[in-house]
Structure 1
Amino acid sequence: MFNKILFPVDLSPASLKICPYVKEVAQKFQSEIHVVYVVHVSHYYSNIDMSAAFVVDFETEVRKGADKKFNDFVSANFSGLPVQSKILSGRPIDEIMTYVKSKEIDLVVMGHSSTGIERAIFGSVAGHMVKYSPVPVMVISPDILNS
């Protein structure tokens, strides 16, 4: 039923708390897990007069910095399981939806934060996914994540 599960992460403590749910569903259905992290920094500079080259260079540096943290996260939490991992660049909503379609994902498992900037960014992604995803989306409640 769920051959491929997508787990979009933001590398926050909340992402770590979702891992057991992803693993449990994956083991139950013998699924392949796809873990993605989306680098999206250009929106921070949309109202500032900066060269496109600077923004691209900055995004490249952010991506390099995320590589080790992301790879460590995947290794620590999904060792021994069938997993694919990828860092993407762009708007999280667009990149996740494109990934779902291109990789023929069967289920998306994600969380959303209940406070601050994480809610503004990741919460809106979760809401968009629930509304527009062509596949089922399991959203882990912030109450569970905060317990």
Structure 2
Amino acid sequence: MKKMNPIKTVVTPIDFSDNAGTVVESAAYVAGTFGAALHVIFVVQNFEDYSGFFVPQMNVPNIEHELFTGAEEQMTAFCREHNGYFEKAGVSIIESKVLVGDVSEKIVEYASEKKSDLIIMGTHGYKGVERIMFGSVADKVVKTAKCPVMTINPYTCCE
């Protein structure tokens, strides 16, 4: 039987939904338990994916820049808000990053670049139109990641 690699790096994608706090706290607990570095990432969906849709006249580069800048500000606030939990869980190395592109592809690419030993992500984030348009990000990550993926159902965990 093949042994699993030690868990030294955990990547956790978030989406700033109401469930993100539960997911990142679960990831912090796991990272702290193993003494692993925790990478919290958010991916801004790029507008190239809308090329088949009718998009009214707008300045796409400006909108993407504004979304990226807004996401960076949200990430800073999110990590600051959860800093006490990171400390309590014993996570000493925390990196946060905002990326742009296809959400599932960027998650898998980032985890691969960081030689992640584990991806921990939620099974539910935003719902409705976003889910219909983009499909299940968690499903795509589970199927394509080169490391194990732990999914957290925020509606059933941590009660």
Q: Which TM-score band applies after superposition, normalised by the shorter structure?
A: 0.7 to 0.9
Higher Rg of the two aligned structures: 2
Q: Residue 105 of structure 1: SS of its match in structure 2?
A: coil
| Alignment counterpart, residue 88 of structure 1, candidates 84, 99, 106 | 99
- Could you list the per-position Cα deviations for residues 64-86 of structure 1 after superposition, in whole angstroms to 9, with x for gaps in the alignment? 11221111111221454310111
Partner in structure 2 of residue 72 of structure 1: 77
Partner in structure 2 of residue 36 of structure 1: 41
Q: How does 1:1-147 map to 2 (within 5 A)?
A: 1-42=6-47, 43-44=49-50, 46-48=52-54, 54-78=59-83, 79-80=86-87, 81-113=92-124, 115-117=127-129, 119-120=131-132, 124-144=136-156
Using the size of structure 1 for normalisation, the TM-score is: 0.86
Q: Aligned equivalents of 1:144 and 1:123: distance in 2?
A: 22
Using the size of structure 2 for normalisation, the TM-score is: 0.80
Are 1:112 and 1:122, in contact at CA under 8 Å, matched by a contact in 2? no
Q: Residue 7 of structure 1: SS of its match in structure 2?
A: strand
Report the aligned-residue RMSD. Answer: 2.5
Higher mean displacement: 90-99 or 106-115: 106-115
Are 1:110 and 1:137, in contact at CA under 8 Å, matched by a contact in 2? yes
Higher percent of residues as helix: 1
Instruction: Specify whether residues 89 and 146 from structure 1 end up closer, same or farther in structure 2 by C-alpha distance, changes over 3 A only.
Output: same
Q: Residue 13 of structure 1: SS of its match in structure 2?
A: coil
Are 2:9 and 2:115, in contact at CA under 8 Å, matched by a contact in 1? yes
Percent identity reads 29
Q: Aligned equivalents of 1:118 and 1:74: distance in 2?
A: 24
- Could you list the per-position Cα deviations for residues 55-110 of structure 1 after superposition, in whole angstroms to 9, with x for gaps in the alignment? 12111111111221111111221454310111000111111111011110110000
Question: Cα offset for 1:116?
Answer: 2.1
